[in-house]
Structure 1
Amino acid sequence: METRELRYFVAVAEELHFGRAARRLGIAQPPLSRAIRQLERRLGVTLLERDSRSVALTAAGSVLLREGRAALDAVDAADRRTRRAGQAVNGGPGLVLATKAGASSELLPKLLDAYAAEPDAVPVEVLLCGIGEQERLLRDGRADVALLHLPFDSTTGLDTEELVTEQQVAVLPAGHPLARRPHLLMAEVETLSGLPMPRWPRADGSYPEGLGPEVRDHAQLFQLIALGRTAVVLPESVRTLLLADLAAVPVPDAPAVTTVIAWPPHSRSRPLAALIRTATRL
């Protein structure tokens, strides 16, 4: 299969309409139809059931859609990483590290300082991401390495090293009655505080249904908490970011959060290996 054919098929499979897929690809519809028929002949299977009014995926087409997306993502990631490697030779960034903005606030500066002191260190560009974005940046090749947080981020298919595990705290308005408690249970945060939990974006950018406010980043989240619009449970290291108008109360029954450093399993970058060694030593 050619990547061109895969891109054509994925467009049709996602649109379920040859005309819309052709417009999306910027080509005429007849060559798109011929390309799909040629792909089906080459594979020896029917990928799409079509009639005069509709297009539907077959079981084989559903498999190719899933595998094709992964293959195209891998090709795009290879393109980005190769270009970045060439830029590094010409003085561009040596490594790109993705991390959630506001997270790992103690670990990240220590890691960057310790790595910069290594004799063969290269420049590190830090991408500060929204909720859940660092995993996508790592997988699509825009980042070489990322700090992820279990159990919230997926590390499937990535190599990882665990760096630190911490308990969680409830972040409340400083004047809230529960803020004076020595500790809280998860059920108490959700039921006794009277404050709805925030809604974080999904991988596709949409938000789940609920009463809590939609939250994009920590700065917005903390302002909403201070205004008495929401409460949240976060890793204990968040204490270093809180101002006087917010309070943190331990939540012993909340699941522990483990920060891991993650990278693509096929990477053979010596600078990346040195950064990972530095992180595990810290």
Structure 2
Amino acid sequence: METRELRYFVAVAEELHFGRAAQQLGIAQPPLSRAIQQLERRLGAALLERGSRGVTLTEAGSVLLREGRAALDAIDAAERRTRRAALAPTGQPGVVLVTKAGATGELLAKLLDAYAAEPGAVAVDVMLCGIGEQERLLRDGRADVALLHRPFDSTAGLDTEELHAEGQVVVLPAGHPLTGRARVRMSDVAALPGLPLPRWPHADGTFPDGAGPPVHHHTQLLQLIALGRASAILPESVRAELRDGLVAVPVADAPTVTTVIAWPPHSRSRAVAALVRAATRL
């Protein structure tokens, strides 16, 4: 398959509409349709069902969409990492580490200090991102290594080492009746009147339906909680960030959050390997 054909197919498969996909790609619709038909002939499989009600994916098309996204991510990542290596001023590219803004602050500081003490340590550029974005930045090559949090972030297809496991707390405005308890349960939090849980963005940037406010980052979320507009269930380490007016109460039946350091399985970077070793020793 040609990369161009694969990009064309992914655009159509995501839009499920040839006209919108052609507009997104900046080409006319007839050559797009011909390219998809040529791809289907080459593979010997129908990828799309075309009907009066629109376009749907066949089972083979669903497989190619999943695999095609991963292949295109790998191509984009290879290009980005190659360009970064070529532009490195010392001839030795640094490492880009991505983490969610407002999360794992203490762990990150310890990790950077530990790695800086390693012989041959290179510069580490820390990229702080919004909620749910670090996985995508790692997969598309804008970052070399990431701190991810299971079960919220997917680590499928990545190499990982577990660094830290912790329980979760509900963060509430000071003075709320639940702040007087030693611990609560998920059902207690779900039933809170006037303090809905936030809606976190999907990988594509869209938000799920619900009554809670859409939230992009921790600073915004903590401000909403302090104003009495929301509550949130977060890893216990968030206690270090809480200001006056916010109280954290343990949630007894919330799932454990595991912080992992993750990197692409094909990485051969000695700097990434050294950073991972420093992380696992902490």
Structure 1 partner of 2:69: 69
1:196-221 CA distances to partner (integer Å, 9 max, x unpaired)?
11111122222222222111111111
Identity %: 76
**Deviation, structure 1 residue 33:** 3.5
Structure 1 partner of 2:201: 201
The runs of 5 or more residues in structure 1 that have no matched partner are: none
Kindly tell me the number of residue pairs found equivalent between the two proteins: 282
State the distance in 2 between where 1:236 and 1:144 align.
27
State the distance in 2 between where 1:188 and 1:50 align.
48
Cα pair 1:145 1:263 within 8 Å, conserved: yes
1:10-34 CA distances to partner (integer Å, 9 max, x unpaired)?
2333344444433332334443343
User: Secondary structure at the residue paired with 2:76?
Assistant: helix
Aligned pair in 2 of structure 1 residues 33, 90: CA closer, same or farther (>3 Å)? farther
TM-score, reference length from structure 1: 0.91
Residues 1:258 and 2:258 are matched in the alignment: yes
Structure 1 partner of 2:8: 8
Structure 1 partner of 2:233: 233
Aligned pair in 2 of structure 1 residues 177, 41: CA closer, same or farther (>3 Å)? closer
State the distance in 1 between where 2:238 and 2:155 align.
22
Structure 1 partner of 2:216: 216
**Deviation, structure 1 residue 190:** 2.6
State the distance in 1 between where 2:212 and 2:239 align.
22
State the distance in 1 between where 2:208 and 2:64 align.
28
Structure 1 partner of 2:243: 243
State the distance in 1 between where 2:274 and 2:4 align.
37
The runs of 5 or more residues in structure 2 that have no matched partner are: none
User: Secondary structure at the residue paired with 1:72?
Assistant: helix
Which amino acid counterpart does residue 212 of structure 1 have in structure 2?
G
Aligned pair in 2 of structure 1 residues 281, 28: CA closer, same or farther (>3 Å)? same
**Deviation, structure 1 residue 168:** 1.5
1:223-250 CA distances to partner (integer Å, 9 max, x unpaired)?
1111111111211111111111111122
1:237-276 CA distances to partner (integer Å, 9 max, x unpaired)?
1111111111112223222211110111111110000000
TM-score, reference length from structure 2: 0.91
1:106-156 CA distances to partner (integer Å, 9 max, x unpaired)?
100111111112121111111111111111111111111100111111111
Cα pair 1:93 1:124 within 8 Å, conserved: no
Cα pair 1:132 1:203 within 8 Å, conserved: yes
Structure 1 partner of 2:160: 160
